[in-house]
Structure 1
Amino acid sequence: MVRRVVGDALRSLGVTKECVSDILLATSEACANAVRHGGPANRYEVMATIGNGRCELRVADGGEGLQVIPRQYPPGDAENGRGILIMRAVVDDISFDITPGRGTTVRMCKELDWDEDAIAHHLTLDRRLAAV
């Protein structure tokens, strides 16, 4: 559901497919971590803000709080430990607000890339509205 809402909003604004894909990948990884580490209820909250040419996402859980933030990829046979590194690779800025015993909030920001056809459409629409 989160991916659909965020993706639809970004696409409707004319964000490129590649940029939308990066944002949705980072969102999926953050949500997967929240489910995995967010406590027994597996509850988490996602907040998205789109403005000023950027998309900011916050994924907050109520778990124990991250203990270690990986800086390098785990060995090839490891089953876990890649999510944060994937997020780092596809967004421009990532930070963690960790409160031991109360949860983690992951904040991710990405500058938006615009589809040229969508920009032309919006400019035409703006001109039509200005003429009314």
Structure 2
Amino acid sequence: MRVSMTLSLPREPSSVTRARHVLTTLLSLTDVAEDSRGHLAVLISEACANAVLHGDPDSTVDITIVIDDAVCLLEVGNRGSIPNGGGLDAELPAPLTVGGRGLPLIAALADTAVFVAGPPDHVLLRITKHLANARAAPIG
């Protein structure tokens, strides 16, 4: 089954929740296992939170979600710049109560996560996650 959606949300904190709700609704149409659903909820939440926090003031948060059998593709973009020095290979900050843990969490949960080159004033984070099928998941 292939399910996809593209949306453009305002750069405001409530957009993080909206994006997560859209993703969980799309996932409810599939047989994706609960652990994959949970990872994807964290991935889209962190990516959207970063877009809201770091995007240019008049930017929107542009999101593409594609669920295609065994893979989910998430793309989150905004006008702004790619983080400098806090890339996807950064360590989690200590203590965990401080900011800066979004990209390391994304790197830990995603199968791939990369910033995609584009126009100089645009940031696009492309995330892929291989999906476990609920029917194929072992019981117990």
TM-score by length of 1: 0.79
Q: What runs of 5+ residues in structure 1 fail to find an aligned partner?
A: 118-132
Counting aligned pairs with the same residue, the percent is: 26
Alignment of 1:111 onto 2:130:
yes
Offset at 1:100?
Answer: 7.9
When residues 53 and 19 of structure 1 are mapped into structure 2, their CA distance, relative to the original with a 3 A threshold, is: same
Higher-Rg member (1/2): 1
Counterpart code for 2:21: R
Residue 90 of structure 1 and its aligned partner are, at CA, apart by: 1.2
Listed as ranges, the gaps of 5+ residues in structure 2 are 1-17
Farther off after superposition, 59-68 or 79-88: 59-68
Q: 2:82 touches 2:115 (CA, 8 Å); kept in 1?
A: no
Structure 2 match to 1:73: 92
Structure 1, 61-70 or 88-97: larger mean CA deviation: 61-70
Aligned to 1:23: 40
Among 72, 76, 79, the alignment partner of 1:55 is: 72
Deviations 1:67-96 (A, max 9, x none): 221521222166211000111111111101
CA distance, structure 2, for counterparts of residue 55 and residue 100 of structure 1: 25
Once the 2 structures are TM-superposed, how far is the Cα of residue 4 of structure 1 from its aligned partner? Answer: 1.4
2:72–2:129 Cα contact (<8 Å) kept: yes
Q: Does 1:14 align with 2:31?
A: yes
- Relative to its length, the structure with more helix (as a share) is 1
Moved over 2 A (4+): 97-101
The root-mean-square deviation of aligned C-alpha atoms, in Å, is 2.2
TM-score by length of 2: 0.75
Aligned counterpart, 1:90: 109
